[in-house]
Copies of this chain bind each other. A is one copy, B any other.
Amino acid sequence: MFENKNKKTTSIEELGEFQLIEHLTKNFNLNNPSTLIGIGDDASVIDFKNSLSVVSTDLLIENIHFDLTYMPLKHLGYKAVVVNLSDIYSMNARPSQITVSLGISNRFSVEALEDFYEGVRLACLKYKIDLVGGDTTSSDKGLIISITAIGQLSKNKISRREGAIDNDLLVVSGDLGGAYSGLQILEREKAVFKVNPKNQPDLDAYSYSIGRQLKPEARKDVFELLDELKIVPKAMIDISDGLSSEVLHLCKSSRIGCNIFEDKIPIDPEVVKICDEFKINPLTAALNGGEDYELLMAISQSEYEKIKNHPYLTVIGHFTKNKSSAKLITSLNQEIEITAQGWNSISKSN
């Protein structure tokens, strides 16, 4: 709804499959010495020498994972990459290569795909990763995106979901609930747009939250900070489905419980304001809203001095012996059992 309708378009058939991928990837330069062979052969070749390689993959389907009504293709390309990189950082690894596969229907022009790849290219530049391959195919089912990210890791630095022990600090990066609030605003504007397509929304007051939804970042800076502080999180996960769901994953994998303190959960003032507008409890946005792509980790008590008051990190609780029991301690000191109510795309199936 925000796009320029006057752009020249080229149909995909005019280019053909092999020319299309050559055309879309011609501005991608290689950033990593480990990338021996990139695009253009049957497979890419990566030379990791003495480190481990880490692999993560995601499948994104139009109208399930993204809505092109308010998601510009360039942002979508950027976000699709970032979401995968976030999984690599959450292993405490450095991403180095991605493959991007697209299923595209003929309602997309070459120019539209260029926008998507421009987003992919910007993410590659920002995160210093290489696009090394992929598959481009036709789809009679809208846009389908599959991305695989590969990263490197020193053996003694792995942070898995398991490994947290009693008394470890539960630490989160950034703040939570922003992407969810941004989505509420965008859904509202979409509804307004359907009624009155000429309405030009003023979204300035919501720019932080909308940015969190449309152009999220993976926490490369947190990964680098941890390295600098010589902290290896005992366990780590990225927050894609909401804090509740992710903390339960850590507890289940580590066979341990945790207490989270309500008043420690970092929430941006704009998110509180939007939640007020929509009559949602901001805590619900933080606990159950997904797509913040912050890192949630278990850090040993002995590291507390290194991280306290750091602007990137907030201690929101600690792990406990109570196996797989995660509790929220409210500001009135009530204990509430945390259950997973995160964003679950399977349950959205129709």
Interface residues of A (CB under 8 A from B): 12-13, 16-17, 20, 36-37, 40-50, 52-65, 87-88, 90-91, 93, 97, 99, 101-106, 132-142, 144, 146, 148-151, 153, 155, 158, 160-161, 237-238, 253, 344-350
Contact = CB atoms under 8 A, between A and B. Distances in A.
Contact of A153 (B45, B54, B344): B45
Contacts of A106: 349-350
B42 A53 contact: no
Given A56-B42, A347-B16, A142 B141 contact: yes
Contacts of A40: 161, 253
Given A16-B347, A138-B345, A144-B103, A87 B56 contact: no
Contact of A140 (B44, B63, B104, B149): B63
Contacts of A135: 57-59
5 contacts: A47-B52, A48-B53, A57-B99, A57-B134, A60-B137
A133 B48 contact: no
A20 B345 CA distance: 13
Nearest to A105: B349
A346 B102 contact: no
List the 5 closest pairs (A to B, CB-CB), nearest first: A138-B349, A141-B141, A146-B146, A43-B56, A17-B346
A55 B44 contact: yes
Contact of A346 (B65, B138, B155, B349): B138
B101 A146 contact: yes
A12 to B, nearest CB: 6
Contacts of A57: 99, 101, 133-135, 146, 148
A132 B55 CA distance: 9
Contacts of A63: 140
Contact of A91 (B12, B45, B150): B45
Nearest to A348: B138
A38 to B, nearest CB: 10
Contacts of A55: 43-46, 97, 99, 132-133, 148, 150
Nearest to A62: B141
B105 A42 contact: no
A225 to B, nearest CB: 19
Nearest to A55: B44
A52 to B, nearest CB: 5
Given A42-B56, A53-B48, A148-B55, A17 B61 contact: no
